[in-house]
Amino acid sequence: MCGIIGYVGARPCKELVLKGLEHLEYRGYDSAGMVLVSDAGLDRARAVGPVKALRAVSDAVSATATVGMGHTRWATHGLVEERNAHPFLSEDSRFGVLMNGIFENYIELRAEVTAAGHTLSSDTDTEALVHLLEDEYDGDLAETVRRLYPRLEGHFAFLVVCRDEPDRIIGARLAWPPLVVGRGDGETFLASFTPAFLEETRSIQIVEEGEIVIATADNVEFRAVTDGSVREHPIEQADESLEVAAKGGYETFMLKEIHEQPTAIADTIAERFHHGELHLDGIGLTDDELRAMNRVLIVGCGTALHAGLVGRYLIEEWGGVATEADVASEWRYRNGVFDPKTLVIAISQSGETADTLAAMQIARERGARVVAVTNIMGSAVARAADGVLYTRAGLEIGVAASKTFTSQVTLMTLLALHLGAVRGNLTTQQVAEIGNELRSLPDLVQRVLDDKAMDAQLDMLADRFCHDRFFLYLGRHLGLPICQEGALKLKEISYIPTDAYAAGEMKHGPIALLGDDTPVVAVATDSHVFEKMASNLEEVRARGAHVIAVGTEGNTAIAQHAEHVLYVPRTRPELQPILAVLPLQMLAYKIAGRLGLDVDRPRNLAKTVTVE
């Protein structure tokens, strides 16, 4: 969840490190820090808060150093305080260390270095490593790191520098935290994610788990931690869609990304239709294998799980196969029963989420076939699966997912359609008809985003309800995961407590929360459960609560059951989720704006969640 960047080359690197950190800030913004290898030794600057706070104190470090590394933190061990900000230096300022990940045996490691006479300056797990280096260094930094590696438990990617070997940065990786190398002309970058250096080079190499990397200006060597043998990795070109992010005239990344949804959905669909025919190249299973599947399990976290829940309904409806969706962090500790006829679909926009990865690994160990749905090419999730289906949303910076959610729903819709076709549940004509409607969705999404009347209505609703203490979201069938997503959006960026419930379940408890100060957001677009939703909304209104409903254009019946209706265009019910979520994203966005909050960097959150 932290972001790391390193540079070794001929150019003064302070600005390169700061710029790299700015591109990694979405991974964590509790504090930031950097260490540069200058003629005088190791120069360090750290600050609590985002990278701009580090920039403000960066005069303290060398302007001419050409080797350096930086870190942006999402706190795991230790409060958000400067003393817990990375990098950490040894007491003699000879070694510097920073890390993304966790040392699970940090209590023992901290005890060990304390017993050896070191004084710890932080409460972190990472700091122990710098003192171990101090004690174990034998004149070869890379080999010292390799010797120490087996003593470090957990999952991590870390970088270290040493004053005595000023021309290099050593990195190491265990388990899923990513580490990628950027190869420039006479310079080398190391980072958690390619966009950190994409303005400088697109030539990349991936550090695999269980490897040490030795980076100098002109050379990069990968060594296996087990025996020190040298490994070769091809130089690849970074994915075009990872363009370095800019707000492009929008006030926030989230707003920009909400408005990028028509393109993201269209791009996700486009590569799947060749001459009007649906293809799921990359799925990693033959049509015969897909026909043989008797069960589907979808796993993911947060927004990705909500996309999976939409997928569950569609796969059952069109694919005709029993489908379950579960939270990856819960599912992985269940004793899930599997056989080779179970298809597991793991959804993760970042491709790094620790719990989703662990669930995939367990599923594969138990014999299931695993397909990943991710937005990041070559990510850990992509590499851990039998097949990969990519969403084409482009880089998403705002911590609250928007375009990646609708792209994931789009991909799950395509997958369900494909299963329906190969399993003989849908005729060729039905697939073609649904496919055509799907391809017209980006235009409908654009219409909603351009709808000035709805925008004004959302402004009015945000003004009226932004100070309320609680929002309840109600939906049924495909409307339920959309409510869950809408409720998550509002709570994560506005900090207003929300709950999302199956409308039929409301009377079994949540109805007790309702009063004349409760806004209730309902997804009540046209479907076979519309009448049932209407009855539930009457139960809500009878308690004096205020109903804000998302309805389908042309169906004015909903107006009799709601105080406010946000109409979205008509499409077939199975495709409605992609339209219905749009007003909920915008409502959350506008409410957070009224409250003066930073929607791109909500408190306590990070864009990638590489801890369990």
Q: Which is nearer to ligand AGP, 527 or 610 (CB)?
A: 610
* Sign, Cα dihedral of 573, 574, 578, 581: positive
Position of minimal CB gap to ligand AGP: 302
- According to the binding rule CB under 6 A, does residue 201 interact with ligand AGP? no
Q: How many residues does the chain have?
A: 612
Closest of 234, 433, 467, 222 to residue 318, by C-alpha: 433
| Neighbour order of strands in the sheet with 387-390 | 323-327, 295-300, 342-348, 369-374, 387-390
How many CB atoms within 10 Å of residue 461?
A: 22
Does 609 bind ligand AGP (CB under 6 A)? Our answer is yes
Rule CB under 6 A: choose which of 266, 399, 521, 592 binds ligand AGP: 399
Tell me the CA distances in angstroms from 327 to 7, 308, 365, 371, 449, one per residue in order.
38, 10, 19, 16, 30
For position 302 contacting ligand AGP by CB under 6 A, the verdict is yes
Query: How many chain residues bind ligand AGP (CB under 6 A)?
Result: 16
Residue 349 in the binding site for ligand AGP (CB under 6 A): yes
Site for ligand AGP in 587-606 (CB under 6 A): 605
- Using the rule CB under 6 A, is 264 a contact of ligand AGP? no
484 lines the binding site for ligand AGP (CB under 6 A): no
- Minimum Å gap between C-beta 438 and ligand AGP is 22
Report how far residue 270's alpha carbon sits from residue 250's, in angstroms, rounded to the nearest whole number: 26
Check binding of 353 to ligand AGP (CB under 6 A): yes
Contacts with 555 (C-beta within 8 Å, 6 or more apart), sequence order: 526, 530
Say how many CA atoms lie within 13 Å of 380 toward its Cβ. 30
Report the distance separating Cα 22 and Cα 29, nearest Å: 10
Amino acid code (one letter) for 579: L
Omega prior to 87 cis, within 30 of 0: yes
Q: Which of 14, 19, 590, 607 is catalytic?
A: 607
The interface mask with ligand AGP, positions 319-348, x = CB under 6 A, is -----------------------------x
Burial string for 378-397 (b: 16+ CB within 10 Å, else e) reads bbbbbebbbbbbbbbbbbbb
Residue 491 annotated to the active site? no
Out of 206, 269, 304, 533, the residue judged to bind ligand AGP by CB under 6 A: 304
Looking at the Cβ atoms of 35 and 384, the one nearer to ligand AGP is: 384
Least spacing, CB of residue 348 vs ligand AGP, in Å: 3
For 328-386, where are the E strands, in sequence order?
A: 342-348, 369-374
Interface pattern 485-524 for ligand AGP (x via CB under 6 A): -------x--------------------------------
413 binds ligand AGP (CB under 6 A): no
Region of 128-136, 181-189, 241-249, 396-404 interacting with ligand AGP (CB under 6 A): 396-404
Q: Which helix (H) or strand (E) holds 541?
A: helix 530-541
CB 388 within 8 A of CB 371: yes
Binder to ligand AGP among 124, 205, 303, 484 (CB under 6 A)?
303
User: Could you say whether residue 406 binds ligand AGP (CB under 6 A)?
Assistant: no
- What whole-number distance in Å separates Cα of residue 165 and Cα of residue 168? 6
Question: Which candidate, 444, 458, 452, 471, places its Cα nearest to that of 565?
Answer: 458
Tell me the window of 65-73, 236-244, 277-285, 395-403 that interacts with ligand AGP (CB under 6 A): 395-403
* Closer residue to ligand AGP, CB minimum distance, 37 or 180: 180
Q: In the complex, what is the shortest distance from the CB of residue 370 to ligand AGP, in angstroms, rounded to a whole number?
A: 15
Q: Does 188 sit near ligand AGP (CB under 6 A)?
A: no
Cβ-based nearer residue to ligand AGP, 38 or 356: 356
Say which of 2, 13, 162, 301 is annotated catalytic: 2
Residue 400 in contact with ligand AGP, rule: CB under 6 A: yes
Judged by CB under 6 A, the residue of 350, 525, 527, 585 near ligand AGP is: 350
Please indicate whether residue 483 is annotated as part of the active site. no
- Find out whether 433 and 420 touch, Cβ atoms under 8 Å: no
Rounded to a whole number of angstroms, the minimum distance from the CB of residue 600 to ligand AGP is 11
CB of 1 to ligand AGP, least distance (A): 10
- Contact range with ligand AGP by CB under 6 A, out of 196-204, 285-293, 302-310, 535-543: 302-310
From 54, 181, 297, 401, residue interacting with ligand AGP (rule: CB under 6 A): 401
Q: What beta strand segments (E) does 55-185 contain?
A: 67-73, 88-89, 95-103, 154-162, 169-174, 180-183
Question: Phi first, then psi: what are they for 48, rounded to 5°?
Answer: -75, 140
Contact status: 66 vs ligand AGP (CB under 6 A): no
> For residue 87, with 0-12 CB atoms within 10 Å meaning exposed, 13-18 middle and 19 or more buried, which class applies?
buried
**Which residues contact ligand AGP (rule: CB under 6 A)?**
301-304, 348-350, 353, 356, 399-401, 492, 605, 608-609
Give the residue numbers marked as catalytic: 2, 607
